[in-house]
Structure 1
Amino acid sequence: MAEAYFRLIHAVTYFAILVLIVHEKRFAAVSHPMALRVYWGLSYVIVFLFAITAIIRLFFTGNDLVVLRMDDIVVLASLPLYVYLVVVSIRGSSGICEDGVVGNDDELDSNVSGYETASLFSKAVWNWMNPLLSKGYKSALKLDEVPSLPPDFRAEKMEEFFEKKWPKSGENVKYPVLTTLIRCFWKDLVIISLLAILQLVVMYVGPVLIQSFISFTSGDRSNPSEGYYLVLILLISKVLEVLSAHHFSFLSELLGMKIRSSIITTIYKKGLRLTCSSRQAHGVGQIVNYMAVDSQQLSDMMLQLHAVWMMPLQIVASLLLLYYYLGVSMFAALILIVATLISTLWMSSKSNQYQYHLTIKRDSRMKVINELLGNMRVIKFQAWEEHFKEKILSLRNQEFKWLSKFIYLLSWNLSLLWSMSQVISAFTFGAAIFFKNPLDAATVFTATTVFRILQDPIRNFPQSLLSISQAMVSLGRLDGYMTSRELDSNVVERQQGCNGRIAVEVKDGTFSWEDDGDQIVLKDINLEVRKGELAAIVGMVGSGKSSLLASILGELHKISGEVRVCGSTAYVAQTSWIQNSTIQENILFGSPMNNKRYKDVLRVCSLEKDMEILEHGDQTEIGERGINLSGGQKQRIQLARAVYQDRDVYLLDDIFSAVDAQTGSEIFKECVRGALKDKTVVLVTHQVDFLHNADLILVMRDGQIVQSGKYDELLKSGMDFGDLVAAHENSMELVESSTEASGECLPQSSPKSPHPLTPKSSQKSQVVANGGSSSLDQQPKGSSKLIKDEEREAGHVSFDVYKQYCTEAFGWWGVVAVVIISLFWQAAAMANDFWLAYETSKDHAWNPSLFIDVYSIIAGMCCIFVIGRSYLVAILGLKTAQRLFDQIINSILHAPMSFFDTTPSGRILSRVQYLPSPDSDL
């Protein structure tokens, strides 16, 4: 009767679940109902308790024969399904998107990763990856063939989520970055923890079943079905172990990528809002390190985080099993495990010290190499290659000293951890013989399996602690950066659309570059620039002209006053900023192409003649830092970029400083007073000749506007503006007199062409002068790319790469030595297992003293071979790393200058930064 009621309750429950699921599909519920999620969570708890009861009934009842009940098998088999249900209940999402995919047309294509829409089975076995793997197997994948990220995984979504969870201004949070990450990703952490617990539970099913298998194979059990049940349980446990382990790694890596993506995007956006003092405290190099190093440390920590709390659980579970099978002999294993942990922790602390010194020496070497690459042209002109080579090798030798200490200590640590299972098992079996505990085949192999399971957590524990400590340091650095002072977005009152009379206005403005306002750079600033006016700012060097533009942009700390800007703004800096791309891409800057407007911009910025001279015109690729352009060309390109954007207000900071007088006059006439005639232009300039065209002139001295008005008014008033005009006229007279004097000493020559001829134009002129047609016009043009694409190998790594690394140090003799000692090590390990099986078999008389003596000798041989192998590999690796470094430095120093013109220094530095891989990782 009770069973009938139980079945009735089950039927009603499942009917209610069906109604709730239909409700989701009908009303497109974004999340599962709370009642359904609570039911799934409670069901998991009940089934988990039933599973524990079944395991205890199966293996810990004290009976020699294991009684297999059908309900126990059903509970154990259904446990993974309930694990999935509790994961779904924690996440809460039903998979139905409320607003659809939001984004541009790129995000609406079909080439999106199938992970989000994959079924449970497809996710479990990674079936959703098969199409991409199949395509990659047939041919090398191209960038457009790689599926794009799902919307929820994209950087902008991650950054938005991170900003949403960031502590509010009123919250007193000591570790804001860590708090935000926990708020964002706590569900992912819980799911990964559940997988870790599942992996931990099923990991010990194999050792527990060994005794049952041995009893069955020895004929103690006559029912054949019990053998099938044992195989079925072992198969299910191993499948669960493999799936949980791989999904644990996959989800940990995925969570690390999410964290890294959100951190990098947030760091970048924060960098755009830093105040001047904050930018000085966090330089460009530091911000790059935050994005490249610290974010990666947090990402890598995700794999190591759970090992810290899992290791004590694994050790406790292992010790309980050992106590169940070996009794008090387990304490011998406990003592050795504690000693191993203490020694590994001590070696880990020493390793941290060595790594600290190694990092300092490596940074010193990288700094010199960076200076070498930045000044390679001067070094080659002066033939200083050998001098710099000696300096770099000297720093490398200091680095190599600490690297050797670190590698040898690492080799000893690995030797200890790899030989730990043999040593602990020998001592534990010796203690069992001493306490006269019975040792049969099932007990010995169960204990040996447990010892091997213990290897991984103990071996990974020091690395986990190191990774977490490094991540905590990175969190502290990121906390300092993310909580640094930002520019006040309300400093400038911006109005969209310029319908009023005033376009730029500053009232009673006092500004400082510092946040505390101690050093005032602008004071008592009052100005009004009307819509469509040209306002010129003049003054001596250091009078505050560029700072005034910065205050209009909102880059200065406002102490008092008001700043209003009407409409959108474009800014052209005094120092040109050029991207490593084509001229056209630099001008468009991501805007859509408008051919008519583009041609007009080239004309008004005096770039048409340059496009004719350059072999590939506007498709010419600009080298790193604009190395293949003159200063005037770079300045005109960035001016063209601003003009093409079609803004309301233009802030131009001394744009004529890098161009000659004729070109400057053309730009002022065609661009400033032509294309921008209806725009509001604020121009900082030293060119007095252009000032009579300005609608408003502002004269600055010591951070103040001392005069303002039109040209004639200021000239009549004298004072500072009169001094500037007079100083300009005197300097022009000196230039003209010096030019006339030098011209008398020079032979007569043809007038200079406005542009120097390139090799292309010189060759063309010579051919035409000889009466023939230009052969250059008939030749096909070469590639417009200046910077060469990085060459990457496709497919598998060739055998020559392995051969070079393995034979670089001592030829094939080193490889043969490593192979031989590895074979001896494996042979000793196999002999260990064989001796266990031989001595514990029923056909052989049990001799405890002989057993432990031979077992100890074999274990000692394993330790010797492991130590020899580790140190031999360390010696080979260090020698190979040093030889590869010498080859890299020689290749860099003896490469032609054209190599550095066509290869970005960042690419060369990245190759040099790969040295930690051959130094220690390999």
Structure 2
Amino acid sequence: MTTMAGWFLLPVCPQSPYVWNGHRFSKCFMNMTLGFGVNVLTVTITVLLGLTLKNDGRRRRNFEKSLLEKTFVYVLPAIGVFLSLLDMMFLLRRLLTGDVVEYHEWLTTASLFAVWTCTAIFANCSNFERIFTNKMLCSWWIVRAIFGILVFVSTYADFEILRSLNYSFVILLDVLFGASGFIIRSEQAKSSPMEDSLLSVDVDLEESRMGNNKEDKQSCWNLLTFNSIMSVMNDGVKKQLDFKDLLQLPTDMDPSFCHNKLLICWKGQYSRNGSNPSFFWAICRAYGWPYVSLGLLKVLNDCLSFVGPMLLNRLIRFLQQGSRTSDGYFLAISLGLTSIFKSFLDTQYTFHLSKLKLKLRSSIMTIIYQKCLSISLAERSQFSSGEIQTFMSVDTDRTVNLCNSFHDMWSLPLQIGLALYLLYVQVKFAFLSGIAITILLIPVNKWISEMIARATEEMMKQKDERIRRTGEILTHIHTLKTHGWELLFSDWLMKTRSLEVSYLSTRKYLDAWCVFFWATTPTLFSLFTFGLFSLLGYKLDAATVFTCLALFNTLISPLNSFPWVINGMIDAIISLRRLTRFLSCIEPDRTNSSPSPIINNDQAESDVKETAVFMSNSCSSWSSSKEVEPNILLNNLTLEIYKGSFVAVIGEVGSGKTSLLSAILGEMRLLHGSVHANRSISYVSQVPWILSGTIRDNILFGKDYDPQRYWDTLWACALDVDISLMAGGDMAHIGERGVNLSGGQRARLAMARALYHGVDILMLDDVLSAVDAQVADWILRNAILGPLAQKRTRILSTHNHQAIYSADMVIVMDKGKLKWVGNPSNLSGSSYVAFSKLNELDTTVRIQGQNSQIIESTDTHKHLVDEKDDKNASNGVTETIDDEMRKEGRVQFSVYKNYAAFCGWFITIIICISAFLMQASRNGNDLWLSFWVDATGRSQMDSPTTFYLVTLCIFCIINSFFTLLRAFSFAFGGLQAAVKVHDTLLNKLIHAPIQFFYQTPGGRILNRLSSDLYTIDNSLPFILNILLANFVGLLGIAIVLSYVQVFFLLLLLPFGYIYSKLQFFYRSTARELRRLDSVSCSPIYSSFTEILDGSATIRAFKCEDFFFTRFTKHIILYQQTSFSETTASLWLSLRLQLLAGSIISFIAVTAVIGSLGNLSINFGTPGLIGWTGTFICCSNCFLVGELFDKFY
């Protein structure tokens, strides 16, 4: 290979015509392939696109270019030309000083000049948008930057500081140019028809409902610095935030837009692979390209993670050599600039990934919601309600988290590989001893993670059971309090909670071992690596030691994270399969030409045009389409119901009356035959479905308000007197499932809804059984047979004797078959047996009747409300549903105090002391390493190597002890708090007055006992643990810097002031956003749970669009809150990282000044400076770790 390469490279590299030189590719080979070759390819692509692509006329030429486009067209190419000319000047300087400049260097620099010159020419052409916003060329500019990093490493390895710095700016320019092209392309996509779409289907997406907003029109600087959040943060400092104060969503984050985008891809996937569709590939088609584009940012960000340690290595070597050149300043400034550039890359990657995850989440949630509105009850029977709710919550979360895991699957091996290679360069094979310890811990961590997974699975089962029991208690709380069963059912619930806590404790203590291994690995690595390195006879120096420490700090996170990433991938795959199975359910054919479903119709149109309901030899089942041998419930039904008739359906219990109505509605699976329900339908189920909202909302049900018809409906359903006695009248709020109303009131309210809509067919399932005889008579005469429904087709399943004799036609059901159909006057023979049983049952009901709600009277309405029952009913709705309260301002100190008390004051003190001593021992370990390094730098060591090695081992043992103490004390304290918080909450809830449950929705209470309690059980201890570790780590860095660099004390006050101001400014807003986030989540799951119960009613009324729009409004609020919260956290993250970058530059520059002898102040030995450099390279992590305080 060397001979062939020599023949190829000899003309341009006469000095070193080799591909491989030592332990890396030669500089000649890198320049000719990744330098000159890539540049030539760039010019070729640009010229070809410039000559072939024509202006499509989308831009209106009388409009001026935007600021971003001006920068894109004029500024960036000019900078590129300047940098390439500057590189030529460096080569000329070397040539004039007598150095040899080979041809490959001239070719690389000249081709770079050609690239930017060509770019500047074509950027001023009329079709520049078509050229430089082309997907291929935009991506190529990003790929150029990746290749440029490799060339940069080659240049940097030859210690060409000035050219390396210049080349780093070239790489940055490539990234900016490619990113600008993508941004301009996205702006065009928002204001023009979709062209060059990533979707394979040629469908125009529905325009977003969000309209123009400021988020879409931000300048490049605002996008980079997240200044758009400033208005929200200013309001957050001054007042309590409301939803109207939040950031507007960008156009492409509108839930309707996202829903349509993913739905089109899913339908395309389903049409192509109907037998085996994949929801994963539908997601890839919808969001694959933006996600892949983020991978390019991820690569750059990961590569820059290693630039800092390598620059630190060069800086320490420069300080050790005592050079008098100015290269030290370039190294010091580059160290800070690298950190700053990485800060922008890191925050931009996180921001765009978070946006993508929010879009994906809203897409999945809306598609699941729409699917629940679309599929029949029979098709849905293969899934339990709890399983469907899990689709919306757990499975959606796991699928969205795939966005993180998928990039991590290739990013983590890349980071590990680069770190291992750089460690080998520093300490040869001695690094294997440290890596061996880490690798040995990987199966241990894997085993622990599997144990945690099993414990979590069992814990979630017990949690689901606890929530189920809590829901039952809330549903029957009135009965419990009436009988004084509070303590009995509290103990019943606590049995499940005890099992849940036992699994939670197993998980917490296993987590403590993970924390222990995580925290002690760096000290163990330094002990084994540097111990073996010195025992092998190598000489330790500051550059080697502290570069290795910085590299291992970069390596440890990928090594420990990999098992969790794999688990996340597995969870996401399982969830995707579950979602695919649910979304593949068959939907009934609901054509637009008819408001009601035509399930199957093999008859001529003339057969059904005069009928309201037509059935021919239909066989129906409650089984889903997946069942091969369904259980037939309705067999060979042939039925014809004429328009405008009143039909009574009778039969014994379980004879198939409700199933007949469901088959007409299309809720059952039609095995063969045909069912045709002509025109519009309204439906009242046997258990009336009541919407959480006002009485008027329940009656209108999305329909326009007609006062005359509205009040006529209330009178016909005997609701006008009830409403007049309620506080707020018809605007009084009703609790979930109508908990504030009596059974009769719920039935009459559902009846009023069906009557108000004025549809062609009224389907009433045993609606009269929920009211007493007098009210049933009133509803029959004034509602069912009254003027509002007189010309409608009415199908009533009933046991009411009077209703049966008032019917035009009676249908007798028996064991799923039509036993008899005819006029009620002809009920005789075998059909009379069923009718006589119903007559007896109806008589019994009359005798046993419930406490009357409405009795006959002599006033104009001929009825009054029974005083006792109406008093109870009206009291239930006297108070409207309370809005969810949220605190304002700072988190009170009492909250922290109470949580510490729940943990236990003794254990809280132990946690704090062990955390401080853990950090002190960690700092002592590194300080001892710096002493060891300085000792080996002297001509004669004061003590033998074993002395330093044994002392280092002692520091490791002390650090391990305090780390273990901190981890297990935190786990114990968190468990104590979890138990006490739940017990206190349950005790207060179970003894709350009954009025509290009328005023508070059950979904809100369940949210407190599920999501919020999960935060107390799991999230809060985890976050507090990280926060405490970062706090003591930051404190340790401040002490180290103050000890080694005296000048840092000058920065301590101003930087501390800036830091505290940033934190105060952020935390004031973050608390409000966190509270809004909690408030915005509840309506989403409450709305979803609600439609699971009432989906059949919603489909019958054809109100799917109304409820879908209602749901998307909840999603918009959640999206706005999450988007604002993410932007605010990244606003702070960027500024903290910039602050850290400034500190890095300051410390590095002062160290260089001290080494040059320009100041008389002692800046420390190379070992101490290396120790300081390692800490400041890690300062970003500690500073950004402070963001975790937003969770509380």
Listed one character per residue, the Cα deviations across residues 91-146 of structure 1 (whole Å, up to 9, x for unaligned) are 79644243999679x744x6x5x433333322222122222222222211223333
Task: Give 2:971's aligned residue.
Answer: 874
- Say if 1:623 and 1:17 are closer, same or farther in 2 by CA, change over 3 A: same
Deviation at 1:304, TM superposition (A): 3.6
Q: 1:638 aligns with which of 750, 763, 766?
A: 750
Distance 1:455 1:7, change over 3 A: closer
Percent identity of paired positions between Structure 1 and Structure 2: 26
Structure 1 match to 2:246:
146
Deviation of the 1:458 alpha carbon: 2.5
- How far 1:47 moved relative to its partner? 4.4
Q: Deviations over 1:727-750 (max 9, x none)?
A: 5666677788999xxxxxxxxxx9
Distance 2:845 2:672 in 1: 44
Matches within 5 A, 1:734-773: 754-757=864-867
Indicate the larger mover: 189-198 or 659-668: 659-668
Deviations 1:684-715 (A, max 9, x none): 33334244554444343343334444444x25
> Over residues 253-304 of structure 1, what are the superposed CA-to-partner deviations in whole Å (9 max), with x where a residue is unaligned?
3333223222222222222344555433211121111112111222234334
Alpha-carbon contact 1:877-1:919 (below 8 Å) kept: yes
2:924 matched to 1:831? yes
- In 2, distance between residues paired with 1:17 and 1:397? 69
Assess if the C-alpha contact under 8 Å between 2:648 and 2:797 holds in 1.
yes
Q: Is the 8 A contact 1:253 1:299 kept in 2?
A: no
In the TM superposition, residue 446 of structure 1 has moved relative to its aligned partner by: 0.7
Q: Between 238-247 and 77-86, report the one with greater CA deviation.
A: 77-86
Change (3 A) 1:584 1:822: same
- Alignment CA distance shift 1:149-1:339 (3 Å): same
Query: 2:616 — aligned with what?
Result: 507
Equivalent residue, structure 2, for 1:563? 675
Tell me which residue corresponds to 1:795.
Answer: 889
Q: 1:299 aligns with which of 367, 376, 400?
A: 400
- Checking the alignment, whether the CA contact within 8 Å between 1:512 and 1:558 is kept in structure 2 is yes
Residue 811 of structure 2 is matched in structure 1 by: 698
Separation (CA, whole Å) in 1 of partners of 2:114 and 2:467? 74
For residue 818 of structure 1, give the secondary structure of its aligned residue in structure 2.
helix
Q: CA deviation at 1:87?
A: 5.3
Q: Which whole-Å CA distance do the structure 1 matches of 2:354 and 2:110 have between them?
A: 48
Alignment partner of 1:670 out of 770, 782, 801: 782
1:378 aligns with 2:486: no
- Secondary structure at the aligned position of 2:308 is classed as helix
The one-letter code of the counterpart of 2:217 is T
Aligned counterpart for 2:234 among listed residues 92, 113, 134 = 134
Mapped pair 1:15 → 2:144: no
Tell me the residue number matched to 1:767.
none
Q: CA 1:55 to 1:435, structure 2 compared with 1: closer, same or farther past 3 Å?
A: same
SS of equivalent to 1:19? coil
Which residue type is aligned with residue 952 of structure 2?
A: Y
Amino acid paired to 2:764: L
Map 1:243-262 onto structure 2 (within 5 A): 243-262=344-363
Write the letter of the residue equivalent to 1:680.
T
Question: In structure 1, how many angstroms separate the alpha carbons of the residues matched to 2:348 and 2:275?
Answer: 33
Partner of 1:808: helix, strand, or coil? helix
Whole-angstrom CA distance in 1 between matches of 2:821 and 2:516 = 80
Structure-2 separation of matches of 1:793 and 1:855: 50
Q: Could you report, residue by residue, the CA deviation over 1:2-52 in whole angstroms, capped at 9, with x for unpaired residues?
A: 888975675444333433556x5xxxxxxx569843333334434432332
| 1:423 Cα offset (Å) | 0.7
Tell me which residue corresponds to 1:743: none
Q: CA, structure 1 residues 50+263, in 2 after alignment: closer, same or farther (shift >3 Å)?
A: closer
Partner of 2:381, secondary structure, is helix
Distance in 1 (alpha carbons) for counterparts of 2:185 and 2:295: 12
**Unpaired stretches in structure 1, ≥5 consecutive residues:** 25-31, 740-749, 765-780
Map residues 679-694 of structure 1 onto 2, 5 A cutoff.
679-691=792-804, 693-694=806-807
SS in 2 for 1:675: coil
Distance 1:709 1:408 in 2: 72
SS of equivalent residue, structure 1 residue 417:
helix
Contact 1:492 1:553 in 2 (8 A): no
- CA distance in 1 between partners of 2:480 and 2:776 (Å): 35
Superposed displacement of residue 429, structure 1: 0.6
**TM-aligned CA deviation for residue 181 of structure 1:** 1.9
1:40 is matched with which residue? 138
Contact 1:511 1:517 in 2 (8 A): no
Amino acid at match of 1:72: Y
Q: Does 1:815 align with 2:895?
A: no
- Contact 1:20–1:33, Cα closer than 8 Å, also in 2: no
8 A contact 2:684–2:767 mirrored in 1: yes
Partner of 1:49: 147
Which structure has more helix as a fraction of its residues?
Answer: 2
Letter in 1 for 2:358: M
- Pick one of 636, 639, 646 that aligns with 1:534: 646
The structural deviation recorded for 1:331 is 1.8
Residue in 2 that maps onto 1:120:
220
Whether the 8 Å CA contact 1:215–1:221 is kept in 2: the answer is no
Deviates most, 206-215 or 486-495: 486-495
Aligned to 1:777: none
Q: Secondary structure at the match of 1:638?
A: helix
Name the counterpart of 2:172: 77
Q: Secondary structure at the match of 1:68?
A: helix
Q: Distance in 1 between matches of 2:754 and 2:869?
A: 31
1:444 matched to 2:545? The reply is yes
* TM-superposed deviation, 1:317: 1.0
Does residue 181 of structure 1 match 2:294? no
Could you tell me whether the CA contact under 8 Å between 2:509 and 2:971 is conserved in 1? yes
Higher relative contact order (CA 8 A, sep 6+): 2
Distance 1:441 1:726, change over 3 A: closer
Q: Could you state the TM-score of these two structures normalised by the residue count of structure 1?
A: 0.86
How far the C-alpha of 1:436 sits from its partner, in A, is 1.8
When normalised by structure 2's length, the TM-score is 0.68
Task: Flag the 1:431–1:451 CA change in 2: closer, same or farther, 3 A.
Answer: same
> 1:200, CA displacement in angstroms?
0.7
> Are the equivalent residues in 2 in contact too, given 1:571–1:652 (CA < 8 A)?
yes
Contact 2:132–2:181 (Cα < 8 Å) also in 1: no
Whole-angstrom CA distance in 2 between matches of 1:162 and 1:724: 53
Match of 1:208 among 297, 310, 313: 310
Once the two structures are TM-superposed, the CA of residue 339 in structure 1 deviates from its matched residue by 1.2
Deviations 1:75-104 (A, max 9, x none): 233243145257569979644243999679
Aligned in 2, Cα 1:93/1:435: closer, same or farther, shift over 3 Å?
farther
Q: Aligned AA for 1:135?
A: D
For 1:457, which of 558, 567, 590 is the aligned residue? 558
The equivalent residue for 2:1005 is 908
* Pair 1:506–1:34, CA change in 2 (3 A): farther
- May I ask how many residue pairs the two structures share in their alignment? 875
* 1:199–1:240 CA contact under 8 A, matched in 2: no
Change (3 A) 1:499 1:11: farther
In structure 1, C-alpha distance between the alignment counterparts of 2:768 and 2:989, rounded to whole Å: 38
Indicate the residue corresponding to 2:992 in structure 1.
895
Tell me the residue number matched to 1:191.
293
What is residue 9 of structure 2 aligned with on the other side?
Answer: none
Give the 3-state SS of the residue equivalent to 2:693 in structure 1. Answer: coil
Does residue 434 (structure 1) correspond to residue 519 (structure 2)? The answer is no
Residues 881-890 or 368-377, more deviating: 368-377
Q: CA deviation at 1:760?
A: 9.7
Cα separation, 2, equivalents of 1:259 and 1:165: 13
Indicate conservation of the 8 Å contact 1:650/1:680, yes or no.
yes
Partner residue in 2 for 1:660: 772
